[in-house]
Amino acid sequence: MRNKKKSVSTYFLILILGFIIFSDNYSCASQVHYEKDLVDVKKKDSIYLFSSLLKRESIYYNDCPQGLQQIFMNPNDSIVIESYRKQFIFQPDKNQNFYVVYPNDRLKIREDSSGNFIFKTITKDSIRDNELDLMRQANLTLKESFGSLINEAFNNKTKQYSSEIFDKYTHDISDFINTYKQNKTISRGFEKDLNNFIKCTMLNSQIGSALNAKTNITTQVQDSLDSLFNSSHYTDNSDEYFTSLAYSYMYYQTLHNANEYDYNKISFENMYDLTNKTLKDSITKDAVLLSIINSQISKIGMDKSSSMIRKFLTDCKKKEYLDYINNMVFQNEKLTQANRDSVLDLNLYTQNISSILKANIGKLIYIDCWASWCAPCRANIPKERELENHFANSSIVFMYLSIDKNIDDWKRAVQEEKLEKSRYNYLVGSPDQSSFAKKFKINTIPRYILIGKDGKVISADAPHPSDKALQELIEKNL
C-alpha cells in the first residue's frame, strides 16, 4: 500500500510540474520588503509572498523562459515575483501542494501540523481567501483520487485509457467546486482558470498515460486535440495550461509519426519542425518552440544545438524569447572563453583562481563548492554567512565557488542567499574541465575545503558550516 501511495503522489507531481515548466509567463524573483510593507505596495505586476513558516522551506514557480525555479524561504523572509500573469506556486516536498496566484496578490504562507502550506491574503481579501481555501481543500482531497483514476482508467486488454472515466472525474471536480460555491464566493475569473486547468489537465494526463503505457491515445482524445490546435486562434492561448498541453501534444505526435513509443527516444529536431508546421497560433507556437529549444539544450548541450537555435532566431516573433536565447548564447561564449584555471566574477570578468589563492597567502581560505540547484548546499549558506560575520575581523576568507552552468541561475541564487556583499563570489567557467575541480576531485556537492595561511590544504573535505567542528578548526588555525 505504501508503494501505491508513492506512485500516486509521484504521478501527480510529474503532471503539475509539466504545467509549470512549460507555462508562458515572464517573471523573476527577488527578496525585498517586510510583511507590513507588502500591504501598501502599489506595483501591480508582482506577486508578494511573506513567510510565516517555522523553518527554512522551498517553493517552486515558473520563470519563463527559463522554466521551473526553486526559491528558498527562511522564517520572516519575503519574496517578490515579478509577473504580469498568474503563476503556479508549488510545494515540492511529500505534500506536493499547489496554488494559483495572481499579480498584485500579497500572501502570507504558513503550514499546518502535517506540513501542508496554507496561503492567506495579507490584505484580508475575503474572496481571494475563499479561492485559496478552495485550492487548499482540493490539494487535500483530490490528489489521491487522481492517482486512483489513473489506475482505474487503464484497460489491460486494449492497452488504452478510458476517456469516460476521465470524463467522470471531470464531473466530480465540477461538483466539488459547485458544492464549495454554495457557501462561499469565488470570482468568475478564478473559476474560469480552474475550468481551463481541469480541461487541459484531463487531456494532458491522457497523453501522459498513453506515453507511459507506450500506446496510442484514444480516438476521442485525438479528435479533441486536432480540433483544438487546428484553430488559428485560441481565446485562451496565453494560458499556461494550454501551452503545456500544446507541448505534450507535439511531443506525442512526434513519437507517433515515427512509430516510436519510447518517450526517451524523442527527436527534438523533428518535434521542432512538426510544431512549426502544425500549430497555427503564433503565441502558442513561440512558447512551445522555446520549450523545445530548452529541452534540446538540456539533452545535448548548447554547442550541439546551434542549428536549431539559428532556426528559432528566425522563426520566433516574441522579443522576450529572442532576448533570452541571445543571452544564453552570450553566456555560453563567456563560459567557454574561461580556461581550465579560470572563474567568472559577478561582473562576468575572468579571474584566475590560482592568482586569487596566491593573493590571499597569510589568510585562511574556506571554499564552499555549491550550485543554485543544490538544496543541501543552500541550506548551509545562512549559517556560513553567520560564520563570515563572526570572523569578519579575522584573517580568513570565505569563498563561494559555484559550478552552475547557467549564469542567470547563479546570479539569482546569489541574490536570494544574500551573498552579493561577499567579495569572493565566483562561477567556475567549465566545471568539467576545471583544474581546481580535478585537483580536489569535486564530483559531488556540497563540498568544503579549508586552505591554511601558508597556502597548503588543511582539509580537502572540511566540516560543513552547520558543524560546530568547523568553527573549532578555524580558530585552531587562525
Asked if residue 360 and residue 260 are part of one domain, the reply reads no
Q: What domain count does the chain have?
A: 2
Query: In which order are the strands placed within the sheet that holds 117-121?
Result: 27-30, 78-83, 46-51, 106-111, 117-121
CA gap 59, 81 in Å, rounded: 12
- State mean pLDDT over 419-444: 82
Chain mean pLDDT for the chain: 81
Q: Residue 364, Cα to own-chain centre: how many angstroms?
A: 36
**13 domain-assigned:** yes
CA gap 86, 47 in Å, rounded: 9
Asked if residue 115 and residue 242 are part of one domain, the reply reads yes
**Contact assessment for residue 424 and residue 397, using Cβ atoms and an 8 Å cutoff:** yes
**Contact assessment for residue 359 and residue 451, using Cβ atoms and an 8 Å cutoff:** no
Asked if residue 218 and residue 358 are part of one domain, the reply reads no
CA gap 166, 271 in Å, rounded: 27
pLDDT given for residue 327 in this prediction: 84
Asked if residue 211 and residue 348 are part of one domain, the reply reads no
Asked if residue 358 and residue 253 are part of one domain, the reply reads no
User: Which residues, at least 6 apart from 366, have a Cβ–Cβ distance to it below 8 Å?
Assistant: 396, 397, 398, 399, 448, 449, 450, 451, 462, 470, 474
Asked if residue 226 and residue 94 are part of one domain, the reply reads yes
More confident residue, 29 or 115: 115
CA gap 391, 419 in Å, rounded: 16
Asked if residue 116 and residue 226 are part of one domain, the reply reads yes
One-letter amino acid of 192: K
Q: Please provide residue 223's backbone torsions phi and psi, each rounded to the nearest 5 degrees.
A: -65, -40
> Last residue of some domain: 235, 266, 297?
266
Asked if residue 244 and residue 97 are part of one domain, the reply reads yes
- How many helices and strands in the chain, by DSSP H and E? 16, 18
**397 domain-assigned:** yes
The per-residue pLDDT for range 278-296, each reduced to its tens digit, is 988 888 899 899 989 988 9
The per-residue pLDDT for range 337-393, each reduced to its tens digit, is 665 678 888 888 888 888 899 999 999 999 999 999 888 899 899 999 999 999 998
Query: DSSP label at 47?
Result: E
> Last residue of some domain: 266, 281, 304?
266
Residue 290: count of CB within 10 angstroms of its CB: 25
Which one, of 405, 387, 407, lies nearest residue 396 by Cα? Answer: 387
**287 domain-assigned:** no
What is the three-class DSSP state of 291? Answer: helix
The pLDDT-based confidence of 8 (bands split at 50, 70, 90) is: very low
CA gap 305, 456 in Å, rounded: 42
Asked if residue 346 and residue 209 are part of one domain, the reply reads no
Asked if residue 177 and residue 43 are part of one domain, the reply reads yes
Q: Report if pTM > 0.75.
A: no
Instruction: Report the CATH number that the domain containing residue 355 is assigned in CATH.
Output: 3.40.30.10
Q: Which three cell numbers stand for residue 99?
A: 496554488
CA gap 218, 257 in Å, rounded: 16
Range of the domain at 256: 2-266
**382 domain-assigned:** yes
